[in-house]
Amino acid sequence: MSLSEFEIIDQYFTPLGHWQGPHTVVGPGDDCAVLSPPPDHQLCVSSDTFIEGVHFPVGASGALVARRTLAGAVSDLAAMGSEPLAVTGALTLVTADPDWLGSFSGALSELIQDWQLPLVGGNISRGSELSLTWTVIGSVPTGSYVTRSGASAGEDIYISGWPGRAGFALSKLQSGQQPPEQLAKHYLAPVPRLVLGQHLRGLATALIDVSDGLLADLNHLLDGSALGARLNAQNMAFDELLQASADSPAAALTYFLTAGDDYELCFIAPVSARSEIDRLALKLALPLSRIGETKAELGLQFANLPEALTESMLIKATGYRHFA
Amino acid sequence: MSLSEFEIIDQYFTPLGHWQGPHTVVGPGDDCAVLSPPPDHQLCVSSDTFIEGVHFPVGASGALVARRTLAGAVSDLAAMGSEPLAVTGALTLVTADPDWLGSFSGALSELIQDWQLPLVGGNISRGSELSLTWTVIGSVPTGSYVTRSGASAGEDIYISGWPGRAGFALSKLQSGQQPPEQLAKHYLAPVPRLVLGQHLRGLATALIDVSDGLLADLNHLLDGSALGARLNAQNMAFDELLQASADSPAAALTYFLTAGDDYELCFIAPVSARSEIDRLALKLALPLSRIGETKAELGLQFANLPEALTESMLIKATGYRHFA
């Protein structure tokens, strides 16, 4: 390995700093970046770490790592209803492989512009495993952010998009098969639901992004408002491509409810918002599916589960735990 | 290891979130923290990664890791003249050792309050090496931040405090000796110069913190303004304790100029600011030493070097490089 820390930065990251968006006053290279957030806005901040072999496969290309990890981090901004402001990245490399760095930097260059998220700082270290930490900063008009709590009993539970597709695609790729492209793209290049999140300000009473699986993250959402839920499995079978690709309706529903890493948004809204949310789905060309309703009694109930699937099987499979 | 990620957070980090300072609207636990920065301020943002065996010794106590790494991160805020607003931490653990976690969390709890830097988010992962990334966020009145550039020829170069003490103490500790407590504390519990940095707004024309050694970081500062400097070694020999502890005047000067990790501030200011800077030193009870002056010709010149030390020996020793 012959590239120094400064050469890596110069070659692969300094060019990314040339695009800094409308709110960056001082970009990368000084002790801090300086940002001018829009007036009368609050800030949203989140940090996420991604480790090779834990959060992405060993040997993943630089582009795949950039696409999946940055989407995961930015999804937390979407889940507050936030607009993007800036991101910093801390990358720990084992070796300085020019191919990997070029692939990572190339994908990152596209993503930060697509998602309007200037890279304003970060650092490169050498360590014994490949990892990176993104810190995303966004802004919301003061008081308009949407938290995980705030829902009431008798409200609707929604999920955006097509949860389960990323997990299904990953399982196929891991077993050496090629999933249909329409499914694979949800794993290979997930898109955080920033625009949807912003539209949910004032509509959703509680909001979370799905990174550990819908059921696990819905549980966090219900915990936040001390509610339970009644879910209808019939309303989770709309994804014809997933239904056609999975081995059975039960398998498709299991991916839908328990596979992580789609970065869809799960949210709760009052019944009075139904028509507005239906219009929003048309406007964004994105399914916003009513999958159940909140109730005062804690716990989850399922209606219309496919045969061969029980509530307890689903509740067991509620996402990945570190240190377990 | 029997603690889950969520148990670690609950036991060691959730209690730290109980203190959130005046600008935190939503603390840890949601998808993002929400902050209300003071009006008419800009944001300063910096991310730093610290890895066991690279940035702190293998086997270092949790308290030492917390104290040294957070000081290093916060020092970047000081180096912009920024006030602290919030910090996020991303901790990657190899094992969940309750003693280490208690020591880390206990020290962190003190530091975030001492430095007025609420811990608003972060995450815990498991990996094959211990590392952590801090992202610090600060605020400055709009336009008042101080960068690394902006100095002119014929201005004074200053260094705060007692650079070299941390490096000297570390070298003693590494060879199994006990350094004097007054030196050791600069390594064991460095204090970022936040208050000094804020006072330098409007006074300093260029500012950097010293993390790689004074000479290396002064070079960054001079690069930022395309200047050279004439340095006077006589003005670097004021630290009687370091002089008395080191083997020779040449050894003391080498620590002063090349040892990293004191987190002092190096800055440039016009000659007209001398009396105000002298008053500031008295007010803060902190040496602010004039060690040289900028000049239009690039390069460093030294006056009054001790015998046994040449310019080229010093210029060779300009700090640590990753991937070199």
Interchain contact, B34 vs A145, CB within 8 Å? yes
- Euclidean distance between CA atoms A254 and B302, whole angstroms: 71
Average pLDDT over residues A170-195: 96
Chain B neighbors of A55, CB-CB under 8 A: 125
- Euclidean distance between CA atoms B316 and A45, whole angstroms: 41
Tell me the nearest-neighbour CA distance from A96 into chain B, angstroms: 8
Model pLDDT, residue A318: 63
- Euclidean distance between CA atoms B166 and B75, whole angstroms: 15
The encoded tokens of residue B289 equal: 């030493």
Strand order in the sheet with B156-160: B206-209, B265-269, B156-160, B288-295, B228-232, B300-303
The encoded tokens of residue B101 equal: 């976690």
Model pLDDT, residue A317: 67
Query: Residue with structure tokens 């990174």?
Result: A211
Residues recorded for chain A:
324
In chain A, residues 150-189 whose CB comes closer than 8 Å to chain B: none
* Residue from the list A42, A51, A125 with its beta carbon closest to the beta carbon of B322: A125
- CA A248 to chain centroid: 26
Average pLDDT over residues A100-104: 97
Contact A265, A185 (CB under 8 A): no
Over residues A56-87, the pLDDT tens digits come to 999 999 999 999 999 999 999 999 999 999 99
A224: Cβ–Cβ under 8 A, 6 or more apart, which residues? A147, A148, A149, A150, A151, A206, A208, B30
Strand order in the sheet with A24-26: A24-26, A33-35, B41-51, B131-141, B83-93, B119-126
ipTM: 0.94
Contact A306, A233 (CB under 8 A): yes
Task: Name the band, by pLDDT with cuts 50, 70 and 90, for residue A261.
Answer: confident
Strands B206-209 and B288-295: unpaired
A99: Cβ–Cβ under 8 A, 6 or more apart, which residues? A62
Backbone angles phi, psi at B139, to 5 degrees: -135, 150
The encoded tokens of residue B173 equal: 């500790």
* Residue from the list B5, B47, B54 with its beta carbon closest to the beta carbon of A323: B5
DSSP string, B283-312: HHT--EEEEEEEESS-SEEEESPPTT--HH
Question: Is A2's pLDDT higher than 70?
Answer: no
Question: Is A323's pLDDT higher than 90?
Answer: no
The encoded tokens of residue A157 equal: 């539970």
Contact A87, A135 (CB under 8 A): yes
Model pLDDT, residue B1: 47
Query: Residue with structure tokens 């008419």?
Result: B40
pTM of the model: 0.94
* pLDDT < 70 positions in chain B: 1-2, 317-324
- Euclidean distance between CA atoms B218 and A66, whole angstroms: 34
Chain A neighbors of B74, CB-CB under 8 A: none
Interchain contact, B45 vs A121, CB within 8 Å? yes
Interchain contact, A51 vs B123, CB within 8 Å? no
* Residue from the list B34, B89, B147 with its beta carbon closest to the beta carbon of A30: B147
- Euclidean distance between CA atoms A188 and A176, whole angstroms: 15
Q: What's chain A's average pLDDT?
A: 93
Structural domains in chain B plus CATH codes: 5-141 (3.30.1330.10), 156-316 (3.90.650.10)
In chain A, residues 184-213 whose CB comes closer than 8 Å to chain B: 207-209
Chain B neighbors of A142, CB-CB under 8 A: 36
CB pairs under 8 A between A and B: 222
The encoded tokens of residue B93 equal: 């653990």
Q: How far is CA A151 from CA A138, A225, A226, A227, in A?
A: 23, 6, 9, 8
- With an 8 Å Cβ cutoff, is A228 touching chain B? no
Question: Is A321's pLDDT higher than 70?
Answer: no
Contact A48, B125 (CB under 8 A): no
Q: How far is CA B299 from CA A112, A160, A247, B56, B213, in A?
A: 38, 59, 70, 32, 17
